[in-house]
Chains A and B, each alone.
Chain A
């Protein structure tokens, strides 16, 4: 059945492309390394590879939040919720760990689907186990960090990376936490709608300072209504 002929040649090409390439590995390896590097760096503009971020932050994350990476969104739960809601806007499941009393109503108004959100308000000692288990099933986890042993933290981040689960932390983690991809710090920048004795809050503005792991800092403004 292994006769020779043009069609047979095509067969080999389709089926055993890897084998032919193996003869000549070196240039391929170089090419792949270059590709990995390209992917690890800022990423090509306009191409959203991970989870999308709210519009005003797109310039800081042109390719979105990377799957499997850890981000810290500090200063404001609203910012964290906005990131979570936007990341799940394509119908992804999400989980919230260790945040009792989170304003779920504002989260739904931002577009979070509560039907696809798991809440673990008080994980206690089981924080790392819980996050690791949730990483198996949901692509985005929002959690308030706890103090973890460095070995445990690196094991958890490895798990997250392997599962492609993005972790959003609401507070800056301990300095021993391996690899926070970027830190977003929000500070309030004004309210709209409330006067002296009249009106009600309609809109708020957040100033978001993004510090990438590379040290690059950018400032953005996020509006929530």
Chain B
């Protein structure tokens, strides 16, 4: 077996991940000058900001002075990690067993994938194809080398034009030797101070540093120096740790004194099993495979008396976990010969609770809603099932934005909901809105149609309303008991084809029904018969 430091590793590096994450979350354009701040200093900046002279380590004021239009956001490691999650999952689909070194950098062992895809290059390319496009990722750099550290540095040595660098086996050390010492500053175990010190000693490359005898380095620089030295020599300091289920999901129960009877042990495990399942449920996980380890009191070695993996066709409930413990104890003869002091349950196969039971009865509400809504769309047509958002606008029908189910919601800026919209309706909104204008007649005391003058004044006080088609009982004109208006709405006067001049009147009739009416201001050329000027915009049903 090869020693761990020489295992072929692949590092997938997303340059400027923090910037990308910030951009994705805030919906910023890639060309925007952006800098991330931590403790009042710039920690990352976009290319546009770089062009203006903003550098890492700059103070806030200075950054603003050099680039007045700069967008400054706080650096948020949690945001980085959160947005990196989809990338991690995408990598995991191609190469299982991944190690997230930090947001923006994952490492995997490439051996298996290289055999599967035929070569390391092919595996790396498959990985890049898989990851590109996830979370808005375009620039993906991959380095393959002996050991994670060399692979990471190989990835960093790539360019956007040639995003893949494969160091053939055995050449990693030579590659590292040629690199300047500065690369150590960004790696764990070393630091800028160490790099400065080494430079003052006259060393310039990793090769110079690696050539120093290990014992001397250790004596002079202690453990961090030793780690940096190991890194420089191409040794693996932190090998890939293939991701497994997090260990904190493991639950155990200790019996003191030890229990000898199976049913006693099973009963004692009940609470533990319930907690085990409850922890998983709280994380929206289900477990379809558990490992049950039983420790007896003659085990001073710390090894389990019996260790068994149990698989479930769907997923385990607490009672089923207890059953497995019972079966395991009973299966090893007539129960354990020695007293059981400890039982441990570890989840081996975990799955998202929403995705797991797929389809029939236990998937997540959002999935089910989506599934059924899509099916209904199949019957009624794409725009048969809608969702709505309220946007900006003056006319009621304009404000409600309907869209077919499944289409992305318009962004807040596209909806323009937070803008003032002079002329929009104050107060109570009607419960019925007419998309198409329904003609009505608004009459004054002499029963002639009221007109709105060019200066926005009514030709008379509204006294009668003829609801026309909207009155189911057709009981004739209704008396207006309260009214207000006209409220002018002048839209897009700059565009002759889009321009609209309407006046709004709100009124309550003697049936205690409230209405919103619109008076269309027509140019003399368009003017039609008197009846067509008033229409209903909405009704307070």
Contact = CB atoms under 8 A, between A and B. Distances in A.
B384 A122 contact: yes
A137 B372 contact: yes
A108 B390 contact: yes
A118 B405 contact: yes
B145 interface: no
B385 A1 contact: no
A7 to B, nearest CB: 5
Contact of A137 (B267, B365, B396): B365
Contact of A191 (B263, B379, B409, B508): B508
Interface size class of A (residues with CB under 8 A): 35 or more
B322 to A, nearest CB: 10
Nearest to A191: B508
Given A103-B431, A123-B380, A118 B387 contact: yes
A196 interface: yes
A201 B433 contact: no
Contact of B372 (A133, A199, A204): A133
A interface, over-half SS? mixed
B428 A196 contact: no
B513 A188 contact: yes
A109 interface: yes
B326 interface: yes
A133 B385 CA distance: 12
Interface string A80-94: 010000000000010
Interface string B402-434: 100100010000000000000001111111111
B262 A1 contact: yes
Contacts of A133: 372, 375-376
A119 interface: yes
Contact of A195 (B329, B371, B482): B482
A78 B484 CA distance: 22
A100 B384 CA distance: 11
A194 B512 CA distance: 12
A189 interface: yes
A4 B541 CA distance: 72
Contact of B267 (A10, A114, A120): A10
Interface string B448-462: 000000000000010
Contact of A200 (B385, B386, B405, B506): B506
B306 interface: no
B263 A7 contact: yes
Contact of A126 (B380, B428, B513, B514): B380
A197 B484 contact: yes
Interface in B310-365: 326, 329-330, 335, 365
Interface string A30-48: 0000000000000000000
A11 B538 CA distance: 67
B541 to A, nearest CB: 4
A94 B402 CA distance: 16
B372 A193 contact: no
Interface string A112-154: 0011011111111010011001101110000000000000000
Interface residues of B, number: 59
Nearest to B366: A93
B399 interface: yes
Contacts of A102: 431-433
Contacts of A118: 369, 373, 385-387, 405
Nearest to B367: A137
A176 interface: no
B130 interface: no
A201 B376 contact: no
B264 A105 contact: no
Contact of A114 (B329, B389, B538): B389
B390 A104 contact: yes
A201 B267 contact: no
Contact of B369 (A78, A93, A189): A93
B540 interface: yes
A222 interface: no
Contact of A138 (B369, B511, B538): B369
B430 A7 contact: no
28 contacts: A1-B335, A5-B263, A11-B263, A14-B270, A76-B541, A102-B431, A104-B390, A106-B429, A118-B387, A119-B388, A119-B402, A120-B376, A122-B380, A123-B384, A126-B379, A130-B380, A137-B368, A137-B373, A188-B511, A194-B483, A194-B484, A194-B508, A196-B482, A200-B427, A201-B506, A201-B508, A201-B540, A224-B428
Given A77-B432, A119-B402, 9 more contacts: A101-B432, A101-B434, A106-B431, A118-B369, A118-B405, A126-B380, A197-B483, A199-B482, A202-B427
Interface of B: 261-264, 266-267, 270, 326, 329-330, 335, 365, 368-369, 371-373, 375-376, 379-380, 384-390, 396, 399-400, 402, 405, 409, 425-435, 461, 482-484, 506-508, 511-514, 538, 540-541
Interchain residue pairs A-B with the least CB separation, the first 5: A188-B512, A106-B429, A77-B431, A103-B431, A119-B386
